Structure 1
């Protein structure tokens, strides 16, 4: 088999890299994901292009940095001209579909400008980030309480007897009080209670079932399925028996120190004042929420085990590349923070496991790869796997295929990874810091030891992950580290200077331009 026939791209939402037993978690057992790692390559140092759902996913789907695709925060439309996974793979005969979440927001003004007819096949693909929406469920409906929510999952729940306008909230993401009242999962104090739903009807098993239905339907036709699981993203609530599988004694010590609070970086200090950070700074909150987060991860692992067994039973494991990753992490109280967004490893580093079914990958099975990897590397990897050309004038990642096939030692690799974040949508933070909309950008450059963070309008941060792996000591003001900061700043500037500009002009067109123009009669300066 010279090329891969099918690709299963599994993404969890808000799964930390270190909350899997194969990545070293001391008490959370994930045997099915561990078994996947034994069949493939586990990448130890993978970083997302932005530690926020929307921009991170758009980088995965386009193979481009956020600065290039411009969907810089949640609910910011991906420009209509950006090509995504489906645009690259569909012409090669693959059915490219989605089961789960994308966080995609359509560029409706761009579509209208191009005369796209809403509901047409092409319009739907543009609205759904290039995926055929086999079953899309972003799972978060913050503005829909009090109105009827219409999604395939809500329809499924109603068919199972869970009534109401929003069964996603009232059952799958809430508990039930002693008098039958709804105890919303949005309130973290309810995290230890079981969700008010049969486990088999909750979000993770439902979407795994939908993935298996899709694969059955394909027969022998080639396919690409993006299985994008909503969990362990908040609301932090999970059905029995997963709600009490873990307790406070299973919770890892928070990576934080009082010194981080004593003289913090201004932007970091502002994020420590967020409600989620103030909550997760309390031991009571961590001991209630983190065991539930672990239960959500355990549920994901159990049901992925069902899916992997199904692939073996149907023989699809023999011709399907499987990729497992996350869109970003979750602070869970580390560094006195909640949520994600900043650049500590708890937020910007993700798990990545790739199983290539081809014989060429046999030598690397069960190995750990320590090269620096970026999320944008997956799309060129997919193209290589199916034998398609990688358009290097558009895609900014690089294929992992040499690392999967044991040629890593002879393959020059990147020395620095980059991530970026724009906190302008965080209006309270922006106001507290006195920043204008265009003054809220920050960037990370990490070379495997030194993590340098540049902030527009503020001093940088610097962490030495060799001597300070928990990133507790900010060396951004240390005079002895000025040469390191200068070198890392130049790395960042060099990266920003080299964003792709030739999306419509492949290298061969540029290289042949003089020859073509002269043949066309353009003879500049001819006497």
Structure 2
């Protein structure tokens, strides 16, 4: 299959970047001039959602084009079935050798491997098809080696470099030597070495994922007093009354990765400390914006930007104190709503898109770009649709009216979740159907939730048991069931063996909800 000369792809994936944290969207603490400029040239998707959480499942959906219900890599460490193709393998069909800067958090399929294979000792594997030019996992090598070469005294373990000298103080390293700058430097150096040849690069930055420690001047770029207060109930016990899963999660929630070396208990997080955490989070976003700007400037200066599809997004979001939560668990929008900016040199000026888009759409979109002719049929496993029409500002009449995500909360090793909530492993899952006005959350074996987002945008009042909303709850439950049935794994479903041989038919992806199912009150 031929490749149009110099048809390049740059896919930038941040980690834990909330979808509202762009100054182009009016966030008071966002300092993202470079992404704002990129969005003004390309297309900004205001309602883009990831399919799963945490990192491993989220990236599996993004890079396979599959919903969690189909790829079944439900947690960090759950193997991704080797039978699935992915974006990198498909790009190789077009003559590209996709380069990886950062990580994919892909847990390899253990079947066919020796039990002693070191690849089976970590969830941080590399997805098949990617060439790891600069692998940067939680061990932070080779960044630590870079720091040593710059004269830093890197502690043991190396991750202790994230510990600030004082609470909420700046990082011990300079901004030009940060993990974010390091990865951007490696990508730019690689681009300089391959000028004149078509290329494909995935740059997976760890930021703004915790630990929330930022180098100067980003550590105090944002005044904590200017950060919007978190939307949450009066205390965590009141918050937990909304649902049994939420009560259980809040009661056990504690982590030491938000400020490296110091445990943070979200249940007792006072407003001032939370404001400082939120300010540092936005400082890390500003730092990443600066480094993305350097990369885009290099492409512009070399002329490569005119031949490069640029996509910037994140794997999942961050609760950031909302509902007394840190991290990305559960069903609230903040954990799944992520930025998406696409600059397609063939379709500039797409504007702002309000239609619901999803991570499963990115693989079909990129394959369309690589094909360079008419829209191509993505692999049968893909659950999404190409965003190419939306990049021209036109939303197809049958485009989805909802976003969907899934969260699996089973505890494979200890079974703590199952014992606490009286569930079997397969029952530890929730599905979300999120529309313009209403949001329905279905648990496999726990009560559902239903929110009127127009009246209750913070999602504090569950209406699932309200008789006045019974018909709407029923309609959404039925729509979610129909959506799941339509989106069951279909790789061979449209293939028949006949007397004339193998017959296969591509499947057109259609709307996700029957018309009228979301009628207003």
Which bracket does the TM-score occupy, shorter chain normalised? 0.7 to 0.9
- 1:293 corresponds, among 257, 276, 281, to 281
Q: What is the rounded CA distance, in whole Å, between the counterparts of 2:316 and 2:268 in structure 1? A: 18
Confirm or deny: 8 A CA contact 2:367 2:378 kept in the other structure: no
TM-score of the aligned structures, taking structure 1 as reference length: 0.85
- 2:247 corresponds, among 266, 269, 287, to 269
Name 1:401's counterpart in structure 2: 388
- Equivalent residue runs for 1:112-511 within 5 Å: 127-138=126-137, 140-141=138-139, 151-164=141-154, 166=156, 168-171=158-161, 173-176=162-165, 190=167, 192-258=168-234, 261=239, 263-273=241-251, 274-275=253-254, 278-279=266-267, 281-358=269-346, 361-362=347-348, 365=349, 367-387=351-371, 389-408=376-395, 410-425=396-411, 427-504=415-492, 507=494, 509-510=495-496
Q: Which runs of 5+ in 1 are unaligned?
A: 120-124, 142-148, 178-189, 519-527
TM-score of the aligned structures, taking structure 2 as reference length: 0.86
Q: Can you list the C-alpha shifts for 1:168-203, whole angstroms capped at 9, x where unaligned?
A: 4232x11135xxxxxxxxxxxx3x211111221110
Q: What is the rounded CA distance, in whole Å, between the counterparts of 1:168 and 1:375 in structure 2? A: 33
Q: What is the rounded CA distance, in whole Å, between the counterparts of 1:278 and 1:118 in structure 2? A: 35
Q: Please state which structure has a larger fraction of its residues in helix.
A: 1
Task: Evaluate the alpha carbon distance shift between residue 380 and residue 137 of structure 1 in structure 2; reply closer, same or farther with a 3 A threshold.
Answer: same
Name 2:17's counterpart in structure 1: 15
Task: Evaluate the alpha carbon distance shift between residue 11 and residue 118 of structure 1 in structure 2; reply closer, same or farther with a 3 A threshold.
Answer: same
Q: What is the rounded CA distance, in whole Å, between the counterparts of 1:353 and 1:513 in structure 2? A: 45
Task: Please give the secondary structure, in 1, of the residue aligned with 2:212.
Answer: coil
Task: Please give the secondary structure, in 1, of the residue aligned with 2:143.
Answer: helix
Confirm or deny: 8 A CA contact 1:246 1:294 kept in the other structure: yes
How much does 1:104 deviate?
1.5
Task: Please give the secondary structure, in 2, of the residue aligned with 1:323.
Answer: strand
How much does 1:108 deviate?
3.2
How much does 1:3 deviate?
8.9
Task: Evaluate the alpha carbon distance shift between residue 335 and residue 126 of structure 1 in structure 2; reply closer, same or farther with a 3 A threshold.
Answer: closer
Q: What is the rounded CA distance, in whole Å, between the counterparts of 1:268 and 1:262 in structure 2? A: 5
Q: Which runs of 5+ in 2 are unaligned?
A: 256-264, 504-521
Name 2:110's counterpart in structure 1: 108
RMSD of Structure 2 on Structure 1 (CA) = 2.7
Task: Please give the secondary structure, in 1, of the residue aligned with 2:47.
Answer: strand
Q: What is the rounded CA distance, in whole Å, between the counterparts of 1:433 and 1:300 in structure 2? A: 40
Q: What is the rounded CA distance, in whole Å, between the counterparts of 2:225 and 2:387 in structure 1? A: 39
Query: Aligned residue pairs: how many?
Result: 480
How much does 1:262 deviate?
7.1
Name 2:506's counterpart in structure 1: none
Task: Please give the secondary structure, in 2, of the residue aligned with 1:324.
Answer: strand
Q: What is the rounded CA distance, in whole Å, between the counterparts of 2:328 and 2:206 in structure 1? A: 16
Confirm or deny: 8 A CA contact 1:17 1:351 kept in the other structure: yes
Q: What is the rounded CA distance, in whole Å, between the counterparts of 1:279 and 1:517 in structure 2? A: 59
